[in-house]
Amino acid sequence: MSDSTDNPPDAMISARGLRKSFTDKGGTTVEAVKGIDIDVRRGEAFGFLGPNGAGKSSTMRMIAAVSPVTGGELRILGMNPAEHGPAIRSRLGVCPQEDTLDNELNVFDNLYIYGRYFGIPKREVRERAEELLEFVQLTEKRDAKVEGLSGGMKRRLTIARSLLNRPDILLLDEPTTGLDPQARHVLWDRLFRLKQQGVTLVITTHYMDEAEQLCDRLVVMDRGLIAAEGSPLDLIREHSTREVAELRFPVGDHEATAEKIADLGDRLEVLPDRLLVYAANGEHVVEQVHQRGLRPIATLVRRSTLEDVFLRLTGRTLVD
């Protein structure tokens, strides 16, 4: 049990005022995480959404019990990573952003060797490795060298590897970055199944669709701080309107046009290439724009997404 009283008893991960700073190559101190509070509950899929450099990966590395905490308090499975790193790591699965597979070994050996690091008996590792290959749909590639696998297959193999020790928590750092849409969907499907089996998932992503698809609850991170917290739907409801009208005008006209239609929605954002008008009814906005004699080159009415929430909270887009 945790020795800290203000951490909820059921929290798989709990952080209070968590901070991380380090000295970069130039000798300046970088504050990557500036004091965040998190509680991840058993069995949920928890997300860190934010642009590159928001502090997500630094947070993940602290949760993975590899990177020492600079300040604040962190408990993983009730334990302090500074004292119980090996014990915590024996119950975590880690799927890092960059693949750390051994390219010269075959698929099966990558799993076998990794399982041995956890002290799992040889026979048991072999059995689990075969099962997991089945699970990530790589049984046919069992004897292939990792070097020749596609990006999606490598990522699935990394996930299989992270499951060898039957972890209580699975950490996934940008799991689908660099994958094509089809590979992403295969991966998401596998993650859904894990969640159904009761594995707690912690995911970082800068893709809002991924966060919406996978996460029960998430925090929006920006510049080392948490900007908002909640379920994807709640966040959208709270920080955005139901619909968004996207209007594209000739380059250079956006600022001037914005003034003429600012009253049509609850809010209006001017992006370099388009205007976003936030309103309950997007079609209605588009109609009125035309009634005012304005002729956008293109229009699109869509539902609000986490991207809009992020824009609202930080004034910036997630993917530049």
Partner 1 sequence: MATVEMTRDDRRLTPWQGVVRQYDYWAVVYLRTWKSSIITSFASPLLYVLAMGVLLGGFVHVSPSRLEGAPSYLAFIVPGLVAAQAMQTAMFETTYPVMGALKWHKSFYAQLASPLEARDLANAMLAFTVFRVGSTAAVYFLVMAPFGVFASWWGPVLAFVATVLTGMAFATWTFAFSAHIRSEASFGLIFRLGLIPMFLFSGSFFPIGNLGPVLEAVAKVTPLWHGVNLTRMLCLDNVDGTTALVNLAVLLAVLLVGWWVAIRTLERRVAQ
The neighbouring-strand residues paired with 48 are: 204, 219
- Does residue number 21 form part of the binding site for partner 1 (CB under 8 A)? no
Q: How far is CA 318 from the centre of its chain?
A: 12
Beta-strand relationship, 200-205 and 225-230: unpaired
Residues contacting residue 169 through CB under 8 Å, at least 6 positions apart: 12, 13, 40, 76, 77, 91, 92, 93, 199, 200, 201, 202
Our CB check for partner 1 shows the closer of 98 and 189 to be 98
- Least CB distance from residue 217 to partner 1, whole Å? 18
Residues contacting residue 192 through CB under 8 Å, at least 6 positions apart: 214
- Does residue number 309 form part of the binding site for partner 1 (CB under 8 A)? no
- Does residue number 104 form part of the binding site for partner 1 (CB under 8 A)? yes
Beta-strand relationship, 71-76 and 11-23: antiparallel
Give the whole-angstrom CA distance, residue 224 versus residue 196. Answer: 31
Instruction: Tell me which of 45, 54, 74, 92 binds partner 1, using CB under 8 A.
Output: 92
- Does residue number 78 form part of the binding site for partner 1 (CB under 8 A)? yes
- Least CB distance from residue 137 to partner 1, whole Å? 20
- Listed ranges 87-95, 203-211, 225-233, 246-254: which one lies at the site for partner 1 (CB under 8 A): 87-95
- Does residue number 9 form part of the binding site for partner 1 (CB under 8 A)? yes
Instruction: Tell me which of 68, 121, 148, 250 binds partner 1, using CB under 8 A.
Output: 68
Our CB check for partner 1 shows the closer of 57 and 257 to be 57
Our CB check for partner 1 shows the closer of 98 and 266 to be 98
- Does residue number 22 form part of the binding site for partner 1 (CB under 8 A)? yes
Our CB check for partner 1 shows the closer of 92 and 279 to be 92
- Does residue number 101 form part of the binding site for partner 1 (CB under 8 A)? yes
Residue in the block written with tokens 């009634």: 291
What sign does the dihedral 183-203-52-30 (CA atoms) show?
Answer: negative
Give the whole-angstrom CA distance, residue 228 versus residue 92. Answer: 26
- Does residue number 97 form part of the binding site for partner 1 (CB under 8 A)? no
- Least CB distance from residue 88 to partner 1, whole Å? 8
Please spell the DSSP secondary structure of 56-104, one letter per residue. Answer: HHHHHHHHTT-S---EEEEEETTB-HHHHHHHHHTTEEEE-SS----TT
- Does residue number 42 form part of the binding site for partner 1 (CB under 8 A)? yes
The neighbouring-strand residues paired with 134 are: none
- Does residue number 8 form part of the binding site for partner 1 (CB under 8 A)? no
- Does residue number 105 form part of the binding site for partner 1 (CB under 8 A)? yes
Please state at what angle helix 282-291 crosses helix 254-261, rounded to 10 degrees.
Answer: 100
- Does residue number 150 form part of the binding site for partner 1 (CB under 8 A)? no
Binding residues vs partner 1 (CB under 8 A): 1-2, 9, 12, 22, 42, 64, 66-68, 77-79, 83-87, 89-90, 92, 94, 96, 98, 100-105, 109, 112-114, 116-119, 162, 165-168, 197-199
